[in-house]
A and B are shown apart, each in its own frame.
Chain A
């Protein structure tokens, strides 16, 4: 570990290139241009530092010496770390890459590759079984036929895609709205009762859906919203998940900020609107992404609560792919992934930034 008086700061960078520095593993130096691979980079960086603090030459010399000594070991270490990360990255990426590349296969190619996995056995009908299951990354022939079917020929998929959108977007928006209010409530005052309610929220959040589904069905029936989108929307909007995450975040906002505003005579709404919300922007984004992903992939709720097939989202169709149409599965999955991907790329920075304050179940 290095120790000297040079200014440094830890960064979680966006670009990565900035971090090509050659100092030790845990602490990184940040220089104005970023350090280059060449050893001169270090010196140029040091010179800058030197200008700042001209009186510590001895220390500086010791530092340079240590840098040289450690350079070899660090080089190995760095690339080892990269290799490990790369290995994991490949494992993590494989399914998504497979999904995308396989979506460019023709349906006959797919069924010849995966026929065995999805062979139907109980019908006694024709089974197309290839001896081997081939996981292929690159299609024999790039074919857009799947996409043409999904996007142009059969409006059913688009319709279901639209169903997904119409089910998920209001949930994300209103759950955030309800949750941000509630979490302000939980943050603003913490009595024993509120703590208890918060605890109940956590418990409810942890309930597996099998438990809540039956009561959900009954309540929907009772409210006469069964078979309408409200049966999905309402429980979604009031789900405690976002409340939990947002509360965890808000409780980290230094109390002094709010106190100062109060002393300045700001009203509650103003404090909430002008101070709390801007601070939570990143967190709201990250929670939105999580909710979106969660509901974008829902299967059980629509199946039970919406009997009309025509209202089902695409995720329900995707989960039933087992029963055939595997040829289309990859293309549909890829299309279905696109919004998630976009939302994700858009909000990724927030995802990281937003949870910086998080941590601790009690906060």
Chain B
């Protein structure tokens, strides 16, 4: 019995420890349920937004902060210079007179603890690219522009060559904090440098917690996390905060809370020492693209003021939104559609917000399965359980879809969209680029809408790859064997990368969909394995090595594998190679080795949606001329509408000019690429030629769609390892793959 006594004690201790470690059952269970309850409560309310543009046309908005009373202060910039302006909550706008010396700009706007504004003034010399900052000063003004004091720091902060002021603030004691990206300068109230802390990494934001603590957010071990500026230790120290996330931003919580932050698309408040944050709202519900948020604040009356700046347009557009909490019944009811996705791509956010703003009948709410740091399997389970139960989202995201199109179609959850397109009075099937539509077509049915796309291809010198339309692995081997041993085919490519890209193009060669037979013992497959095996098993990025362009020019690097999304990009490749190039595509025995890839919102309609008309409304919004012609930036890809792409190319071919300081007319670059770790290679791309856009058309028309089956790829990768490790021959591996694959294919039939 003695033995048993000891064991019993052991059990008791174990459980007691577990209990102690977790704070006890009584505390855990209610907490686990708490979010649900609060959500239910929230469901009765909704934040209604009123929007206002910050600056009139012709001005770009640089810097913006939300003041205590909800007034937004911002800088607006045009060719003439920088101005400080304010926009009140009632819509009233005013310019705040600020006297700026010659060559002086407002680098940052900050706040003190008493409702005054701080302006970080940078005096520069020279012009254009050679502009240098010579003097830094901080001016404290009242919201009406009256100057309270000005602190001149002279050159004290200009230790590094390219100083820029990211943000500044003043704490209760009157100390100034200036964040310069990688660190923070702390100045005494009189402007004397106090100390400097170097974070060693990029600080995304600096703000003050109730004027008492100054904290900085940067990307650490747990994601974006907070560090406190330790005034005594003159360093950064960890803040006692449970919060850390992958995507989001922090702000000061003002008087109401310690910290305000946006994680994903939701706004939370958090007080230090608390276990859980409080969810306030979902930005998307209020049609605000949280990716563009510049500053946000909760006012004392519960209104939320947010400023967002859209950098993607030509002149950066600032928008102010005032969100008021209203009960649902007060708000005219819109039909809610859900957009289900594992992660929210930024372009989806933008499109959904834009759609919601213009539609008075529908609003789309985003359901993110990956919300809250779940692992992939959990996400996938949630997603599939939701879809298969018939209660899934109305709109199914295809950009991050965890299963291939065919599997999705087999599940019977996606609707054929051609009938909708054909029924539509304005849109015509013929208006869209045929093979772009085919990318999501199966057996003559269209299952998803893609707003814009890119082409995945391989680029090489015509002298290397020839001028043909495709090439085979034998051609590649010949090319490789013809070059010396120090020559790389692709940059930073492992065996696995190589195998993956080959399978993406060629997988269907080995599987006969009709008969359900597969043939991975085929010679071509063995060639693919051998091809992949020529690459290193491990690559390391060398930041000090020669740049990509240097390697290409010196002949060390032969090919680039890229997703081409604009003619400018092609122009860049011509420049990089310094010779005529050919977009030859991936090696294949098929008719095309180039692939169409979605590069913007891509979504399918759920068969079980109760609002299919609404879903189509969203899709046609994406496909409409207006939206197609205004892809936000050149890099967003080719629009699927033929006329829109034609217009885009026409624009790309038109040269634009500007007058420089000497009054000379110069061509304005279409795009500027900077590369290399120190930005040593700068390429300006000007108007394209007809030849170049024709090349693009050629490429687009040749591209095919390829849907890779992730399970197949997994099996291939899994088995290929023993070939790459030298344990088995390529033939043995191929036989194993064949065996396992056949089961997989059989099972699916």
Residues of A within 8 A of B (CB): 116, 119, 121-124, 126-127, 129, 151, 155, 158-159, 161-162, 165-166, 217-218, 221, 303-304, 307-311, 320, 323, 338-339, 342-343, 345-346
Contacts and interface: CB of A to CB of B under 8 A. Distances in A.
Contacts of A304: 381, 385
5 contacts: A124-B500, A158-B21, A221-B389, A339-B11, A346-B7
B718 interface: yes
Nearest to A306: B378
Contacts of B22: 155, 158-159, 162
B377 A124 contact: no
Interface stretch (B12-20, B423-431, B676-684): B12-20
B496 interface: yes
A165 to B, nearest CB: 6
B102 interface: no
B538 A126 contact: yes
Nearest to B496: A124
Contacts of A221: 389
Contacts of B540: 126
Interface string B1-40: 0011001101100110111011001001000100000000
A307 B375 contact: no
B18 A165 contact: yes
A308 B31 CA distance: 13
A340 B315 CA distance: 66
Contacts of A151: 21
Contacts of B385: 217, 304
Interface string B177-203: 000000000000000000000000000
Identify whether the interface residues of A are mostly helix, strand, loop, or mixed: helix
- The listed residue with most B CB atoms (<10 A of its CB), out of A127, A307, A308, is A307
Nearest to A303: B381
Contacts of B8: 346
Contact of A303 (B15, B378, B389): B378
A345 B4 CA distance: 8
Contacts of B689: none
Contacts of B28: 162, 166
A342 B10 contact: yes
A345 B18 contact: no
B18 A307 contact: no
- The listed residue with most B CB atoms (<10 A of its CB), out of A127, A162, A217, A303, is A162
A124 B11 CA distance: 45
Contact of B717 (A122, A126, A303, A342): A122
Identify whether the interface residues of B are mostly helix, strand, loop, or mixed: helix
Contact of A339 (B14, B19, B372): B14
A15 to B, nearest CB: 11
Contacts of B374: 307, 309
Given A121-B721, A158-B18, A162-B21, 14 more contacts: A122-B500, A127-B537, A127-B538, A155-B21, A155-B22, A159-B22, A162-B28, A307-B374, A309-B375, A310-B32, A320-B375, A320-B377, A339-B15, A346-B11
B656 interface: no
Given A217-B385, A307-B382, A162 B377 contact: no
B714 interface: yes
Interface string B345-387: 0000000000000000000000000001111011001100100
Given A122-B496, A320-B375, A339-B14, A166 B25 contact: yes
Interface in B480-513: 493-494, 496-497, 500
Contacts of B375: 309, 320, 323
B721 A119 contact: yes
Contacts of B25: 166
A121 B718 contact: yes
B19 A121 contact: no
Contacts of A309: 372-375, 378
B158 to A, nearest CB: 39
B529 to A, nearest CB: 14
Contacts of A311: 32
B664 interface: no
A310 B374 CA distance: 10
B21 A342 contact: no
A316 to B, nearest CB: 9
B617 to A, nearest CB: 30
Contacts of B721: 119, 121
Nearest to B36: A227
Nearest to A165: B18
B725 interface: yes
Interface in B692-749: 713-714, 717-718, 720-721, 725
B650 to A, nearest CB: 40
Interface string B211-246: 000000000000000000000000000000000000
B428 to A, nearest CB: 42
A26 B374 CA distance: 58
A127 B721 CA distance: 11
Contact of B497 (A124, A342, A345): A124
B714 A122 contact: yes
B12 to A, nearest CB: 10
Contacts of A116: 725
Nearest to A122: B717
Nearest to B11: A342
Contacts of A161: 18, 21
B686 to A, nearest CB: 36
A345 B3 CA distance: 9
A218 to B, nearest CB: 8
Which are the 3 A-B pairs with shortest beta-carbon distances? Answer: A158-B21, A162-B22, A124-B494
A224 B389 CA distance: 14
A84 B316 CA distance: 81
A320 B725 CA distance: 25
Contact of B14 (A119, A121, A155, A338): A338
A320 B375 CA distance: 10
A91 B389 CA distance: 47
B21 A345 contact: no
A121 B538 CA distance: 10
Contacts of B382: 307
A205 B22 CA distance: 34
Contacts of A346: 4, 7-8, 11
Contacts of A155: 21-22
A162 B19 contact: yes
Contacts of B10: 338, 342
Nearest to A218: B389
B377 A129 contact: no
Contacts of A308: 32
B436 to A, nearest CB: 29
A343 B494 contact: no
B330 to A, nearest CB: 29
Nearest to B374: A309
A6 to B, nearest CB: 32
A218 B388 CA distance: 11
A297 to B, nearest CB: 17
A122 B532 CA distance: 13
B378 A165 contact: no
B411 to A, nearest CB: 14
Interface in B72-98: none
B381 A307 contact: yes
Contacts of B11: 339, 342-343, 346
A307 B18 CA distance: 23
Contacts of A307: 374, 378, 381-382
B681 to A, nearest CB: 26
A345 B7 contact: yes
A4 B170 CA distance: 102
Contacts of B494: 124
A221 B624 CA distance: 40
A77 to B, nearest CB: 31
A121 B18 contact: no
Nearest to A116: B725
A323 B378 CA distance: 14
A307 to B, nearest CB: 5
A307 B373 CA distance: 12
